[in-house]
Amino acid sequence: MTPIITAFERSPDGGKGLARDTRVRWALEEVGQPYEVRLVSFAQMKAPGHLAIHPFGQIPTYEEGSLCLFETGSIVFHLAEKHAGLLPGDRDARARAITWMFAALNTVEPPVLDLTTARIFEADKPWSAERLPLVKDRVRATLDKLSVYLGAADWLDGAFSAGDLLMVSVLLRLRMSGILDEYENLAAYVARGEARPAYGRAFAAQFAVNAPSAS
């Protein structure tokens, strides 16, 4: 049965691949699972039909027969459990890869989200210019440690895993700020993720929907 995901009818990022459906598309491509996409408008996201499958009125969602999921981390994990390719078979290595999934979403992403909020949603506030350096420094405090940990390794813990998929996706949100390029090994790590054929296909699929030239 072909799963169905939801994505923005028109992503706010105009096709940069930063909306969270890209993470799920990437996971689907890594495991070779074909999928269908149902595009939703901002109005539809807040309507009862969509809220019934996503209580917070966001995208993406994932429908597979009777199973209906939301939360990118959960959908990626479901795919990683169901198919080979995103989690190692060894018990300890699997638990560590799952640790990196949570680290990406609960340790690294919060300060990254805070930066987006500061740069976009609070850009017009009187405190914006003075506060921004503080927010950026909190991102750096986290990335300093991540960079030391990664060192010269290709991936976070041995082979590429769902932990890397989520971490690269979170770090991609920093590129426009210039902060990612302050860390040579993290920038190379993200580029390594983007160079994966599965990421390329996921990016192209969302770009086809959201690029400025898409009708």
Lay out the site mask for its own copies across 86-105 (x = CB under 8 A, - = otherwise). Answer: -----xx--xx-xx-xxx-x
Do residues 186 and 171 touch, judged by C-beta distance below 8 A? yes
Q: How many CB atoms lie within 10 A of CB 200?
A: 13
How many angstroms separate the Cα of 159 from the Cα of each of 88, 109, 117? Answer: 8, 22, 33
Question: Residues binding its own copies: what is the number (CB under 8 A)?
Answer: 45
Q: Which residue lies nearer to its own copies by CB, 107 or 185?
A: 107
State yes or no: residue 44 binds its own copies (CB under 8 A).
no
DSSP letter string, 38-60? EEE-HHHHTSHHHHTT-TT--S-
Stretch that binds its own copies, among 2-10, 37-45, 55-63, 192-200 (CB under 8 A): 55-63
Residue among 65 and 197 whose Cβ is closer to its own copies:
65
Interatomic CA distance for residues 161 and 159, integer angstroms: 6
Of 117, 159, 191, 211, the residue at the interface with its own copies (CB under 8 A) is: 117
Which of 42, 47, 123, 131 is in the footprint of its own copies by CB under 8 A?
Answer: 131
In sign, the C-alpha dihedral spanning 7, 11, 17, 19 is negative
Binding residue (CB under 8 A) for its own copies from 9, 13, 44, 114? 114
Amino acid of residue 108: V
Give φ, ψ of 113 to 5 degrees: -65, -40
Query: Contact residues for its own copies (CB under 8 A)?
Result: 51, 55-58, 66-67, 69-74, 77-78, 91-92, 95-96, 98-99, 101-103, 105-107, 109-110, 113-114, 117, 122, 125-127, 130-131, 134, 138, 142, 145-146, 148-149
